[in-house]
């Protein structure tokens, strides 16, 4: 339920409304627009005494949210959400590129990667310290040592870090090292994990599940936001279809639909979306052209020696070329890189 306050609402008025809603057993979230202040009543709406709320002099109207996802919907918040990370703005007019190897393998590898990304014009360092792998015999990541190496690369280059958290017990540890917590595709509906990352202050990058619908993705984001963390970034990374010529099918249709349905920023991962390094460049351009707020790209100093996903990783030279070729695409739609 959304409570729209009158134009002249003061901070004291907002406090009176939120306190009344909380006494009814619901949580609140305040959204200040250009002309109006909105108060969202979050929880079991049957507890809300609508008549009492409408009777308050400062309340202009009370509106139900028709979507099953409340906090993430455009009905709840008309303006785009901008997630701030170490001075960067994700969801603004300036596009953001996250890049790095699938897995942290060594100090030399991750620092070389960070330096390349920084020099080329990338913005955020990605790298897996904990790796969810299909085979139990595959490289599972360096764990906390990998997190320490990511932190060292950040200190040397100034690049913020995004890395995956796999279970609830890891959340405090990863939150201490990483600027952005990634919830991977296999964990998109791990509701305990979604609740756990919803309780920390770090922004959360939520990747779409292997075959998740738009509604399922947005409901997963709702779990995080319902716990109080509204700094959520959505990521399209390809879904499983009958096509076998790529690793996944990169569903760029969902980008403009998400921008219509939700105020949250949306980025695209063309590396996992295609599984082929030769397709990353054209699909990155397509992602920007259709409205994505940024990219997540795999880049490795030497893909032939990568412990995982070498076949979809760009070389330093091809990553630098990608950044340069993205600039005119961004400019053509009125955005900057």
Model pLDDT for residues 133-152, shown as the tens digit of each residue: 566 656 567 889 999 999 99
- The reported pLDDT for the residue numbered 320 is 97
pLDDT at 222 over 70: yes
Task: Please list, in sequence order, all residues whose beta carbon lies within 8 angstroms of the beta carbon of residue 43, skipping any fewer than 6 positions away.
Answer: 25, 26, 27
Q: What are the pLDDT digits (tens) for 65-120?
A: 878 888 999 988 889 999 999 999 999 999 999 999 999 999 999 999 999 999 99
pLDDT computed for residue 30 by the predictor: 87
Going by pLDDT thresholds of 50, 70 and 90, the confidence category of residue 239 is very high
The full length of the chain comes to 337
Instruction: Indicate the domain borders of the chain.
Output: 2-63, 83-332
What's residue 138's pLDDT?
60
Give me 214's structure tokens: 């738009």
Above pLDDT 90, what percent of the chain?
Answer: 78
pLDDT band per the 50, 70, 90 thresholds, residue 44: confident
Task: Give the mean model confidence (pLDDT) for residues 24-45.
Answer: 83
Q: In whole angstroms, what is the distance from residue 188 CA to residue 6 CA?
A: 38
Mean pLDDT of 289-300: 98
How far is the CA of 332 from the CAs of 256, 322, 327, 337, in angstroms?
17, 16, 9, 11
What pLDDT does 40 receive? 86
- Measured CA to CA in angstroms, residue 183 lies from 64, 189, 307 at distances of 30, 10, 21
pTM of the model as a whole? 0.89
Give the CATH number of domain 83-332; options: 2.60.40.10, 3.60.20.10, 3.20.20.70, 3.40.50.12280: 3.20.20.70
Domain 83-332 in the same topology as domain 2-63: no
Task: Give yes or no for a contact between 165 and 183, defined as CB atoms under 8 angstroms apart.
Answer: yes
Predicted confidence (pLDDT) at residue 202 exceeds the cutoff of 70: yes
Predicted pLDDT at 2: 87
Report the percent of the chain where pLDDT is more than 70.
97
Residues facing residue 157 across a β-bridge: none
Match domain 2-63 to its CATH number in 3.40.50.12170, 3.30.70.1140, 1.10.3720.10, 3.40.50.2000.
3.30.70.1140
Q: Determine the average pLDDT of the residues in 2-30.
A: 90
What pLDDT, on the 0 to 100 scale, is given for residue 276?
96
Average pLDDT over all residues of the chain: 93
- Whether 29 has a pLDDT exceeding 90, the answer reads no
DSSP bridge partners of 128: 103
CB atoms within 10 A of CB 63: 13
Q: Look at phi and psi of residue 334 and say left if phi exceeds 0, alpha if psi is from -120 to 50, else beta.
A: left
């Amino acid at each position: 339920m959304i409570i729209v306050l009158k134009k002249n609402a003061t901070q004291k008025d907002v406090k009176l409304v939120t306190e009344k809603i909380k006494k009814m057993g619901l949580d609140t979230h305040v959204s200040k627009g250009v002309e109006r202040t909105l108060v969202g009543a979050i929880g079991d709406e049957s507890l809300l005494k609508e008549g009492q709320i409408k009777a308050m002099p400062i309340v202009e109207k009370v509106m139900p949210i028709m979507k099953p996802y409340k906090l993430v919907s455009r009905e709840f918040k008309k303006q785009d959400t901008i997630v701030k990370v170490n001075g960067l703005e994700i969801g603004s007019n300036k596009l953001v590129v996250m890049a790095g190897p699938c897995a942290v393998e060594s100090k030399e590898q991750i620092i070389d990667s960070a330096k390349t990304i920084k020099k080329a014009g990338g913005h955020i360092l990605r790298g897996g310290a904990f790796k969810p792998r299909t085979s139990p015999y595959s490289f599972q990541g360096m764990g906390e040592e990998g997190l320490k190496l990511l932190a060292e690369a950040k200190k040397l280059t100034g690049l913020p870090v995004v890395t995956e958290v796999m279970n609830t017990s890891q959340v405090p540890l990863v939150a201490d090292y990483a600027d952005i917590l990634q919830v991977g595709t296999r964990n998109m509906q791990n509701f305990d994990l979604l609740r756990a990352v919803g309780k920390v202050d770090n922004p959360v990058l939520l990747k779409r599940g292997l075959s998740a619908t738009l509604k399922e993705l947005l409901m997963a984001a709702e779990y995080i936001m319902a716990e109080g963390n509204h700094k959520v970034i959505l990521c399209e990374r390809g879904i499983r279809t009958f096509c076998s010529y790529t690793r996944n099918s990169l569903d760029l249709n969902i980008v403009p639909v998400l921008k219509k349905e939700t105020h949250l920023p949306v980025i695209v991962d063309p590396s996992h979306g295609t599984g082929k390094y030769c397709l990353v460049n054209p699909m990155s351009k397509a992602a920007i052209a259709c409205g994505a707020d940024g990219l997540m790209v795999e880049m490795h100093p030497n893909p032939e020696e990568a412990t995982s996903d070498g076949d979809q990783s760009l070389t330093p030279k091809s990553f630098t070329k990608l950044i340069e070729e993205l600039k005119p695409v961004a400019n053509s739609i009125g955005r900057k890189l």
